Homo-oligomer: A and B are copies of this chain.
Amino acid sequence: MKVNGIPFRTIWPTADGAVEIIDQTRLPHEFVTLRLESMRDAEFAIREMQVRGAPLIGVTAAYGVALSMRHHASDAALQATCDMLAKARPTAVNLHWAIERMRAVLSPLPVNMRADAAWQEAGRIAEQDVQINQAIGRHGLELIRAIHQQKNETVNILTHCNAGWLATVDWGTALAPIYTAFEAGIPLHVWVDETRPRNQGASLTAWELAQHGVPHTVIVDNAGGHLMQHAQVDMVIVGCDRVTSTGDVCNKIGTYLKALAAFDNGVPFYVAMPTPTLDWTLQDGVQEIPIEERDAEEVTHVSGLCDDGQIRRVQLTPKGSPAVNYGFDVTPARLVTGLITERGLVAANADAIRAQLI
């Protein structure tokens, strides 16, 4: 999508065999691109969330494997590369999916063919992500269009965290239907959950919607229930980091609370899910999905732009108070109206998922 009027993706290969990314830790106040030259650069970018969002993490890991194969393409090097990248973030299933796909393609090949093959395969994964998101956009568009036809007014959509184009290679998952509907001329407005502690909504989602010209309003994570009680939300669309075979959805911490409020107020709650995010091995999301616990300083401190133009980090809590920082929660399938996949809308239950997606 566009930044300052220029089309960008979140990750792209350079002419001289490196990879560039947008440093998402600098947004929304600074637009900076970074050059990745090694597997370690890619691992660092994933771990430090310079890239984030399940699909983009997967593509970055694939390019990380490709960058590594340039230098060392032996079986041992491939194994070590995959092991290291897999540990960069514990929750995102796409990370493992992308790494295993690279391994499956590269393992059977002679060592001297692996570097070129890895480069091409990473590119294919990136292209497929774009195609998946465009398809999610088309399917989601129909849901938004139906609400607009019934309401004949601006459609208000609430989203949590950033599942926009910045979380993918392009278009986004949760925001793909929104961009697609916006470009189809449907009047819409997005409620952007701030998404503490890392504020991906207030920083990334707000930034990309603003860059693209989509009407939106930032709200604190506490506000969505009140808005739903007062009929200010027509639908919720969120992304996901991992979905069980039964339709339980692991996504950014706080998603579950919005799903409860949507259910309580009869607001449809949709999850945009690229099918690689589905984890067929899991049945009970709350019990089985490990939840990443991140640095408490993400809770106690926050960064932003000072009046003098400097980006500074400030402490919010008193010195003597500990904090804890869970990155994700699990929304039980019973609260999910539907999964918007690249293969169409799928009900969030084991039968529908098996019937439509196996």
Question: Measuring CB to CB, which residues of chain A are less than 8 angstroms from any residue of chain B?
Answer: 27-29, 192, 194-197, 199, 202-203, 206-207, 209-210, 216-227, 229-230, 252-254, 256-258, 260-261, 264, 286, 291, 299-307, 311-318, 320-326, 328-330
In the assembled complex, which residues on chain B have CB atoms less than 8 Å from the CB atom of A207? 318, 321
In the complex with contacts A260-B260, A302-B302, A316-B202, A321-B216 CB distance below 8 A = yes
Q: How far is the CB of A320 from chain B (nearest CB, A)?
A: 4
Partner of A218, one of B210, B300, B312: B300
Which residue in B286, B303, B307, B317 is a CB contact (below 8 Å) of A28? B317
Which 10 pairs across A and B sit closest by C-beta, in order of nearness?
A222-B254, A304-B314, A28-B318, A226-B329, A206-B321, A210-B320, A260-B260, A218-B323, A196-B220, A225-B256
Q: Which of B220, B315, B321 contacts A192 (CB 8 A)?
A: B321
Which of B225, B302, B317, B324 is close to A316, meaning CB atoms less than 8 Å apart? B302
Residue of B nearest to A197 (CB): B220
State the Cβ distance, A143 to closest chain B Cβ, in Å: 24
A301: which of B199, B254, B301, B304 is its contact (CB, 8 Å)?
A: B304
Report whether B196 and A256 are in contact in the complex, using a CB–CB cutoff of 8 Å.
no
Q: Out of B223, B256, B314, B323, name the residue touching A305 (CB < 8 Å).
A: B314
Partner of A225, one of B218, B227, B254, B306: B254
Closest Cβ–Cβ distance, residue A209 to chain B (whole Å):
7
**Residues of B with C-beta under 8 A to A220:** 196-197, 221, 253-254, 299, 325
List of B residues within 8 angstroms of A222 by Cβ:
195-196, 221, 252-254, 257, 329
Complex Cα distance A330/B207, Å?
A: 31
Assess whether B299 is in contact with A302, with CB atoms less than 8 Å apart: no
Contacts of A329 in B (CB 8 A): 222-223, 225-226, 229
What would be 21 A-B contacts, judged by CB atoms less than 8 Å apart? A27-B318, A29-B315, A192-B321, A195-B222, A196-B222, A202-B299, A202-B300, A203-B317, A217-B321, A218-B300, A219-B324, A220-B254, A221-B221, A221-B222, A222-B254, A225-B254, A225-B260, A226-B326, A230-B286, A260-B260, A312-B312
Given the known interface contacts A254-B222, A260-B264, A318-B206, the answer about A304 and B302 at a Cβ–Cβ threshold of 8 Å is: yes
With a cutoff of 8 Å between Cβ atoms, the chain B residues found around residue A197 in the complex are 220
> Which of these, B29, B225, B302, contacts A257 with CB under 8 Å?
B225
Nearest Cβ distance between residue A39 and chain B, in whole angstroms?
A: 32
A157: min CB distance to chain B, Å: 15
Q: Give Cα A199–Cα B199 distance, bound, in whole angstroms.
A: 14
A220-B221, A225-B329 provided; 5 other pairs, C-beta below 8 A? A197-B220, A203-B317, A220-B254, A260-B261, A306-B313
Complex contacts, A217 vs chain B, CB 8 Å: 321-324
Smallest Cβ-Cβ distance to A298: which chain B residue: B220
